[in-house]
Amino acid sequence: MENKYIIKVNNNYDFEFEESVSLDSIRKDKNKYNVLDENQSQELEVIHADFSQKKYSIKANGSVYTVEIKDPLDQLITKLGLTVGVKQKGAHLTAPMPGLVIEVQVNEGQEVKEGDALLVLEAMKMENLLLAPKDGTVKTIQVKKGDAVDKRQLLIEIE
């Protein structure tokens, strides 16, 4: 398996990067960064981050760009054709990465629709809004505000 990452911008432009590539950046604010590229400073703002889908909205030079990242495993799964028709059907919301629960936005017994906001998880100094994987009723909430969670830990069960 290659160690290349494919970065797709606005569903039109593909870029490949080796795993060893690093950006010279400084964090200015919660979601704002200064990035040095070929001796030019660029200000970037992460407007939305969906770590589970590896999709981000980034503002640069007054324009907003949709960025999707495919790591080597994602590329292998696509190459094998395992993503065709795949949609999350599970009744569990699990942590996509280790983090800290900032806010739980639902209550047990509450009806939710697929894509509704359920929980805010802070990971890697960014807030991530976790969404309902399907329509249903919140059966159990396994975490509360301030809890530290591990990757794949059950957060909310939907029936």
The stretch 135-148 carries a mean pLDDT of: 94
Domain range holding 147?
A: 92-158
Segment 51-55 shows an average pLDDT of 78
| Residue 87 within any structural domain of the chain | no
Model confidence band, residue 89 (pLDDT cutoffs 50, 70, 90): very low
Residue 44 lies in a domain: yes
Are 50 and 105 contained in the same domain? no
C-alpha dihedral sign at 6, 122, 37, 55: positive
Is there a domain that residue 143 lies in?
A: yes
Give the single-character DSSP code of 17.
E
Q: Check which CATH number belongs to the domain holding 98 and give it.
A: 2.40.50.100
In a domain, 49, yes or no: yes
Same domain membership, residue 66 and residue 99: no
Of 65 and 84, more confident: 65
Tokens 């432009």 appear where? 13
Q: Are residues 151 and 101 in the same domain?
A: yes
Domain termination residue (choose one: 75, 104, 138): 75
- pLDDT, tens digit, for every residue of 1-36? 457 888 889 988 888 877 666 668 888 888 888 888
Would the pLDDT of 114 be above 60? yes
Same-domain status, 71 and 32: yes
Q: Do 63 and 105 share a domain, yes or no?
A: no
Q: What is the pTM (predicted TM-score) of this model?
A: 0.49
Contacts of 96 (CB under 8 A, 6+ apart): 51, 52, 121, 123, 128, 130, 151
Q: CA 104, CA 90: separation in Å to the nearest integer?
A: 19
Same-domain status, 9 and 69? yes
* Judgement on whether residues 71 and 104 belong to the same structural domain of the protein: no
DSSP track, 46-84: EEEEETTTTEEEEEETTEEEEEEEE-HHHHHHHHTTTTT
- 71 and 100, same domain (yes or no): no
| Residue 80, in any domain of the structure | no
What is the Cα–Cα distance from 130 to 144, expressed in whole angstroms? 14
Q: Are residues 62 and 108 in the same domain?
A: no
Q: How many domains does the chain fold into?
A: 2
Among the candidates 49, 75, 101, a domain finishes at 75
